[in-house]
Amino acid sequence: MSRFLTVGAAQLGPIERRHSRREVVERLRALLEQGRRAGCELVVFPELALTTFFPRWWMEDQAEIDFFFEREMPSADTAPLFEDARRAGIGFCLGYAELTREDGRTRRFNTAILVERDGRIVSRYRKIHLPGHAGHEPARAFQHLEKRYFEPGNLGFPVVRAFGGLIGMCICNDRRWPETYRVMGLQGVEMVLLGYNTPLHNPPAPDHDEHSWFHNALSLQAGAYQNGTWVVGVAKGGIEEGVPSLADSMIVAPSGKIVARAPSVGDELIAHRCDLDAGRSYKTTTFNFALHRQPEQYRLIVDRKGAIEPP
Ligand code: ING
């Protein structure tokens, strides 16, 4: 008896700096309603889905920076989304900038939460791979200051039992690193949920720009196939505060096949009825980790941070 989970990828178009949390939450509620009508049990929103992608700007005033962070979740502004979801019996994944107090100090993370159909937050993930730079680089057309505004995540890559399966999360740049999927694969993950804000121009490597769509799909499809898991990638796309950003949200099967893909660059829901057992034939044969992997030969992956070439 297969376990099916109908999941929706709720792609967002641009969020401008002037858009209030309340205005954005109304867009999220509209996408959730589209998900309800499509029969979704789980709706996935993008990375930093409550605000514009503020790491594109150099800011020095901490109060100005902290404007973009949430101190509580749900908050007064996001409570209506939680209420709609609970009332509809739909779960969701939401990316946002998290400001919290831990170990006696203020911490700031690029965070995603997983909310079950009864409204409970059942998992939290904090982005581990922070791309970009920490210092002001005015020569760039726009900044990418995630290393300045966030700490690297301190929760690992958790996989939880939810929605009748094994669900994991990651965020944006994480999707480009095979370690991300493998750590979750080693926990038996059946569906990886991730949001992204990806500029179509990468100032340090403009020659990569034309490959943006290919690199996105390649990363999601490889992660799915090599770990026998579903991968749901959800964009905040379009031209946001003057920065053209990749859309191309998609749902990828454990075979690596793309089964749903957003044709627009705006607010749009795509959905698919996912068979959570579809990864089994990969996990029990080609990617039977227990049978085939040789971890003692992989030491460098954990012990070494940067590449060291032979003499
Ligand atoms: N954004 C980008 C991403 O990894 C980036 C950073 C852009 C990396 C272009 C490489 C090329 O999709 C975030 N938010 O991680």
Question: Which residues, 6+ apart, have CB-to-CB distance to 299 below 8 Å?
Answer: none
Q: What's the pLDDT score for residue 103?
A: 94
Give which of 147, 141, 145, 149 is closest to 242, Cα–Cα: 141
The mean per-residue pLDDT over the stretch 110-131 comes to 98
Residues making up the chain, counted from first to last: 311
150 CB near ligand 1 (under 6 Å): no
Is the residue at 105 inside a domain? Answer: yes
1 pLDDT higher than 90: no
Q: What's the pLDDT score for residue 2?
A: 87
Is the residue at 309 inside a domain? Answer: no
User: Could you read off the pLDDT of 56-86 as tens digits, one per residue?
Assistant: 999 999 999 999 999 999 999 999 999 999 9
For the chain, strand residue ranges (E) read 4-11, 42-44, 91-102, 105-115, 121-126, 159-162, 165-171, 191-196, 230-235, 238-240, 243-245, 250-252, 258-261, 268-275
Count up the domains in the chain and report the number.
Answer: 1
301 pLDDT higher than 90: yes
The residues pairing with 167 across neighbouring beta strands, listed in sequence order, are 160, 191
Banded model confidence at residue 288, pLDDT cuts 50, 70, 90: very high
From 98, 116, 127, 146, the catalytic residue: 127
Banded model confidence at residue 197, pLDDT cuts 50, 70, 90: very high
36 CB near ligand 1 (under 6 Å): no
Cα radius of gyration rounded to whole Å, the chain: 19
Range(s) of the domain holding residue 55:
4-285
261 pLDDT higher than 90: yes
Give which of 195, 189, 193 is closest to 226, Cα–Cα: 189
User: Could you read off the pLDDT of 221-235 as tens digits, one per residue?
Assistant: 999 999 999 999 999
pTM of the model: 0.98
131 CB near ligand 1 (under 6 Å): yes
Is the residue at 290 inside a domain? Answer: no
CATH of the domain at 126: 3.60.110.10
Is the residue at 272 inside a domain? Answer: yes
User: Could you read off the pLDDT of 91-102 as tens digits, one per residue?
Assistant: 999 999 999 999
Question: Which residues, 6+ apart, have CB-to-CB distance to 83 below 8 Å?
Answer: none
56 CB near ligand 1 (under 6 Å): no
Is the residue at 102 inside a domain? Answer: yes
Does the annotation mark 305 as catalytic?
no
How far, in Å, is the centroid of ligand 1 from the Cα of 173? 5
Residue 302 phi/psi, 5-degree rounding, is -95, -40
Q: What does each C-alpha distance from 172 to 48, 74, 273 come to in angstroms?
A: 10, 22, 23
Q: What's the pLDDT score for residue 151?
A: 98
202 pLDDT higher than 90: yes
Is the residue at 255 inside a domain? Answer: yes
Q: What is the mean pLDDT of the chain?
A: 98
From 40, 93, 172, 274, the catalytic residue: 172
